[in-house]
Amino acid sequence: MSDPTQRRSRILSGMRPTGKLHLGNLAGALSNWVKLQDHYESFHFVADWHMLTTDYADTSELQANIREMVTDWLAAGLDPEKATLFVQSGVVQHAELHLILSMITPLGWLERVPTYKEALENIRDRDIHTYGFLGYPVLQTADILVYKADGVPVGEDQVPHVELTREIARRFNSFYGRVFPEPQALLTPTPRLPGTDGRKMSKSYNNAIYLSDAPEVVNQKLATMVTDPARKRRYDPGNPDVCPVFDLHKVFSGPEVIDRVNRECRTAEIGCLDCKRLLADAVNRTLYPIRERRKLYEQEPQRVGEVLEQGTEKARQVAETTMGEVRKAVRLR
Ligand code: TRP
Ligand code: SF4
């Protein structure tokens, strides 16, 4: 990578537009993207078509959610001078490649994908027995291959999709000649962040702390967070190993604070209120530069749209070059 004559390895990753992002999204993906942009040629996109595979019936919030999410990307430090940021549906080449790949993807490969089986069992409020939802990983494959990405930074849950991408790339290459490299998953160490109720932090559980929350909101949310349930009174010793507040300390606090809480909780020297105040300080320290950058973008409301416009234009050129090779390899026009 230090060899300037070689092109930097290219990475690509997408996020479905769920709206404003929370600490779990930051720790799980976003802060990693920000680090990677200095080392890789980075492409990051809003997976709005992927959102439609499950949330097709009500798209009233889609555009607002895209905007809020990308504002959080920029606030968190993704830099449009370094990374290409774009919207999937703005690059129709993803759809063209998805169509072609769908012809060569055996149904069995898709039915076996673990996320598919889980979703069929768990999602009850929407009907996902659709053609489009079964094809979700084929669309993701097209997203990755249309940029010939070398690496795909994702969490554990997405690894089967990257594996499928490799299999589809191999199958395409075996029929039509070698067009696609086989990408690698760049596994993001994803600490599973608990929300204020102790369950996994998630928008749908109403337990999330958002990157856009003001300091007072962060303080107040953490003040009501659940703790070690066995520690009922101030003088009861606690067990940080079973406390979701301590899980957040491990991600956001420095080693001294983590050490102190780990000791003084067990001896009841520190109370939960003080412990949570220390955590709030650490979280607010993490969020401070993010808030400052958000202010800059809020002063120029057209800026987010411009960033996406420029990124989409650049992505389109790269994707079109690949599609030229694909059409030729398959002997389409
Ligand atoms: N499926 C991914 C998720 O739910 C989002 C995604 C879509 C993606 N296309 C991608 C991630 C391509 C990496 C590469 O998180
Ligand atoms: Fe949890 Fe901190 Fe209370 Fe211990 S002191 S139980 S780690 S909140």
What is the spatial distance between Cα 126 and Cα 229, in angstroms, rounded to a whole number? Answer: 35
Q: Tell me the CB-side half-sphere exposure of residue 246, using CA atoms within 13 A.
A: 21
Specify the higher pLDDT residue, 328 or 188: 328
Atom of ligand 2 nearest to the CA of 270: 5
CB burial of 219-256 (b: ≥16 within 10 Å; e: otherwise) equals bebbeebbbbeebeeeeeebebeebbbbbbbebbbeee
Contacts within 8 Å (CB) and 24+ apart, 219-224: 219/277, 219/280, 219/284, 221/196, 222/196, 222/248, 222/276, 222/279, 222/280, 222/283, 223/273, 223/276, 223/280, 224/196
| Four-point Cα dihedral 267, 272, 273, 277, nearest 10 | 90
Tokens of 249: 């300390």
- Which phi and psi (to 5°) does residue 126 adopt? -135, 150
**Mean of the per-residue pLDDT values of the chain:** 96
CA 208 / ligand 1 centre spacing (Å): 21
Ligand 2 pocket at CB < 6 A: 227-228, 231, 238, 240, 243, 245-246, 261, 265, 270, 272, 275-276
pLDDT at 139 over 80: yes
Mean pLDDT for 14-31 is: 96
Q: What percent of the chain has pLDDT over 90?
A: 94
Does ligand 1 lie within 6 Å of residue 13's CB atom? yes
CA 182 / ligand 1 centre spacing (Å): 16
- Ligand closest to CA 30: 1
Q: Kindly report the number of other CB atoms within 10 A of residue 28's CB atom.
A: 22
Q: Supply the CATH classification number for the domain 213-294.
A: 1.10.240.10
Closest CA to 270 of 249, 297, 294, 289: 249
Mean pLDDT for 97-120 is: 96
Mean pLDDT for 158-169 is: 97
Residue 191 confidence (pLDDT)? 81
Q: Which residue, by CA, sits nearest to atom 5 of ligand 2?
A: 272
Residue 5 confidence (pLDDT)? 55
Does ligand 1 lie within 6 Å of residue 69's CB atom? no
Does ligand 1 lie within 6 Å of residue 158's CB atom? yes
Cβ atoms of residues 331 and 325 within 8 Å:
no
Residue 1 confidence (pLDDT)? 44
Atom of ligand 2 nearest to the CA of 272: 3
Specify the higher pLDDT residue, 311 or 6: 311
Helix 215-223 to helix 272-299 angle (10° resolution) is 150
- Ligand closest to CA 241: 2
Atom of ligand 1 nearest to the CA of 16: 5
What are the extents of the domains in the chain? 10-193+301-330, 213-294
Does ligand 1 lie within 6 Å of residue 143's CB atom? yes
Mean pLDDT for 151-174 is: 97
Q: How confident is the model at residue 2 (pLDDT cuts 50, 70, 90)?
A: very low
pLDDT at 4 over 60: no
Q: What is the CATH T-level fold of the domain 10-193+301-330, as seen in this structure?
A: Rossmann fold (3.40.50)
Tokens of 327: 């059409």
- Ligand closest to CA 136: 1
Q: How confident is the model at residue 177 (pLDDT cuts 50, 70, 90)?
A: very high
Strands of the chain, DSSP E: 10-15, 41-46, 83-87, 151-154, 184-187
What is the spatial distance between Cα 37 and Cα 18, in angstroms, rounded to a whole number? Answer: 22
Does ligand 1 lie within 6 Å of residue 25's CB atom? no
